Amino acid sequence: MSRYIIEGGRPLEGCLRIKAAKNSVLPLLAASILTQEKVTLQNCPQISDIKNMLKILTGIGCVVERDDEGNITIDPKDLYCEQIPCVLAKELRSSVFLMGPMLSRMKKAKISYPGGCEIGMRPIDIHLSGLRELGIVIDEESGYLDCDAAGAHAAQILLDLPSVGATENLMMASVFNKGTTVLRNCAKEPEITDLQNFLNAMGARVSGAGSSMIVIEGVNKLHGVTYRPIPDRIIAGTYIIAAAMCGGNICLEGAIPEHISSLIAKLSKTACKISCKNDKISIRSKGRLKSLERIDTMYYPGFPTDLQTQMMALQTISRGTSVIAENIFETRFKTVPQLIKMGADITVRDRTAVVRGVPRLHGAQVSATDLRGGASLVLAGLAAEGVTEVKDIYHIDRGYEDMAPILSSLGAKISRTV
């Protein structure tokens, strides 16, 4: 089993370019089957979540090509299977995104309940409720969802929560429905807007993404497109936090500062110096930072839950005490025992963590429990004294491409070993 070996205590210096966002590429890949023409997505990272999605697409009849520059081409012309293989669906929670486009294209879909990180309950009830309001018949039997969209129609739908996945799924399920579908209480994340722009580039008529109400006017068909997804705001945020923890001066190119404005606002309250110009973000950090009094994860544009554990790692070595409230996923503190092994002082009660900063962390043998938690352990190892071994890094591989080479290029001493 692969693991990272990290010798901490080195500042980070240099530049890196941000690739396309995992959380955009996955729904865009799913949406590619809405047409019978070729679709190309540019600048995509080599990560296991995307590899698994491509396996699923291949398994249902798509022809997939990928070049060395990160361009993925999907030819969905000969789509023949409406069932997603159980073993692949269990590996990838984002397989649920295929429900909407499969129902739009083939009028039938059969999928097992999806997998992914174990960071708390992420029920797909909101997806299923919305699909049923679109006239889709869903039979839940023996761990499978057997869906029939023969009677699908436009509808007015109010989401119980602003779920990103449900918003995206319902957008894709509605593109061919005759009439106008209106989704209310939608998620506002940049990835939602990216999906809207992608669908519209294919000939769809979708408006309102980025607000709480999205309107989909049904069309008869979509065409192929070449599209460049938005850069990954969580990857950008992770490396910014790494520089804040380790000290040094790094520059991120190809980023969109507005997408992580909540993180930039938080770090600007510490001794970090952050500057943004066009698609570049620069961060300079020196010495021990001041703790942030409170961090509350919220739906976008609030502070993202996907950066919460990385910020917790930063707070463990900051001066003072920080209170972190996790308002999205109820078990996103699973990494806390691992950070405590490294010398962190953290107390958790329900969805709140109190982090009392210590002068330094020390190297230890720790295990990743999920994608973002694993990244936070790498960050902690970079800033710790001594050697840290991070095991179970297959979690990290789900969302971070070449993490060790990238950090090494910035001056970190980190290697991947089996």
SS3 state of residue 32: helix
Residue with tokens 């510490």: 270
* Residue 213 vs residues 108, 123, 161, 171, 259: alpha-carbon distances, Å: 27, 22, 13, 11, 20
Closest CA to 390 of 377, 371, 408, 380: 377
Closest CA to 171 of 132, 138, 131, 221: 131
Closest CA to 126 of 171, 90, 161, 89: 161
Residue 44 annotated in active site: no
Q: Which residues, other chains included, contact 403 with Cβ-Cβ below 8 Å and sequence gap of 6+?
A: 4, 375, 378, 396, 414
Q: Is-contact 29 54, C-beta < 8 A?
A: yes
Q: Is-contact 100 30, C-beta < 8 A?
A: yes
Residue with tokens 């089996």: 418
DSSP 258: G
Q: What is the DSSP string of 184-222?
A: ES----HHHHHHHHHHHHTT-EEE-BTBSEEEEE--S--
Q: Which of 62, 117, 246, 272 is catalytic?
A: 117
Q: Is-contact 86 110, C-beta < 8 A?
A: no
* Residue 260 vs residues 231, 235, 318, 391: alpha-carbon distances, Å: 11, 10, 21, 29
Burial of 33 from C-beta contacts in 10 A (0-12 / 13-18 / 19+):
buried
Q: Which tokens is 332 given?
A: 């996103």
Q: How many helices (H) and strands (E) does the chain have?
A: 14, 23
| Rounded CA separation 159/68 (Å) | 40
φ/ψ (deg, to 5) at 146: -105, 110
Catalytically active residues are 117
